[in-house]
Amino acid sequence: MPGKTQPQSEMLKGTLDMMILRTLVSGDAHGHTIAKVIEHTSENLLEVEQGSLYPALHRLEDRKWVSSYWGASENNRKAKFYRLTAEGRKQLARETSRWRQMTRAIGLVMGEEGGAQ
């Protein structure tokens, strides 16, 4: 992915996939919803750009971590919905634990009490 398309509020490399998977835990969603949910839950700190969202979704689909089907959106438009697969759930668990370790380690280095939870 060329560096120019990185979003303003820069996301850590590899975390978008994890966040997409996490979003899908609460139910199937199409691209727009996924982006919105991530933005809302991050209190609008993170902004998901289409330039990374759609390639990421297709990548996850290729790796069989999500499956997709066509359905109708809230506004009754034809939309491609993504669903977390069993394999994707396992991947999410792996990535979450790795993420936890990583943030704790970084927290320790940066001198926060007990590291980030």
Partner 1 sequence: MSWLRFLRRKRKDAELQAEIETYLSEEIAGNLARGMSEEEARRRARVKLGNSQQVRESLWVQNSPMPLTNLGRDLKYAFRTLRRTPGFSVIAVAVMTLCMGAAISLFTIVRSVLLRPLPFKDPGRLVVVYEHRRGNAPANSYTQVAPADFYDWRAKTHGFEDMAIIRYAGYNLTGERNELPESVRAAAGSWNLFQLLGVTPAFGRAFSEPEDRPGSTAVMLSWSVFQRRFAGDPAIVGHQIHLDGRPFTVIGVLPSWFAYPDAGIQLWRPYQADATPEFLQHHDFHQSQVIARLRPSVSLASALEEVGAVQYQLHLQYPHDPVAEDVTSGSLNEDLAGNVKKPLNLMMSAVGCMLLIGCLNVSNLLVARGAARQKEVAIRSALGARRATLIREQLAESVLICGAGCVGGISLSVLSTRLLAQAWKDLPTAQDIYIDGPVIAFASILMITAALVAGLLPALSTTGKAMMNALHASARTGAGSVSRTVLRKILLTAEIGITVVLLVSAGLLLKSFLRLRSEDVGCITQNMLTLQYNLPGKKYDTPEKQNAFNEALLERVRNMPGVRGAALGNTVPGAGYWGDFVFTVQEHPPRKAGEERPEGLMRWADPGYFNALGIPLVSGRFFTNDERGTRAYKVIVNRQLVRKYFGEEDPIGKHLNVPAYPHAGTPGIADYEIVGVVGDTLYQVGKDPKAALYFPMLAGTSSQTLAVHTASAPLSFSVPVQRQIASLDPELPVSRVRTMDEVIGASLVNASLSARLVLAFAILSLLLAAVGLYGVLSYLAAQRTTELGIRMALGAQRDQLLRLMLGDGMRPALLGLGLGLAVSVVATRLFQSMLFGTKPLDPVVLSCVVGTLFAVAILACLIPAWRASRLDPMQALRTD
Stretch that binds partner 1, among 12-20, 78-86, 97-105, 108-116 (CB under 8 A): 78-86
**DSSP assignment of the chain:** --GGG--SSPPPTTHHHHHHHHHHHT--EEHHHHHHHHHHHTTT-----HHHHHHHHHHHHHTTSEEEEEEE-TTS-EEEEEEE-HHHHHHHHHHHHHHHHHHHHHHHHTT-TT---
Q: Is 31 in the site for partner 1 (CB under 8 A)?
A: yes
Stretch that binds partner 1, among 53-61, 84-92, 93-101, 104-112 (CB under 8 A): 53-61
Stretch that binds partner 1, among 47-55, 87-95, 96-104, 105-113 (CB under 8 A): 47-55
Q: Is 11 in the site for partner 1 (CB under 8 A)?
A: no
Give CA–CA dist 71/57, Å, rounded: 16
Q: Is 9 in the site for partner 1 (CB under 8 A)?
A: no
Residues making contact with partner 1 (CB under 8 A): 1-2, 5, 30-33, 35-36, 49-51, 54-55, 58-59, 62, 73-75, 77-80
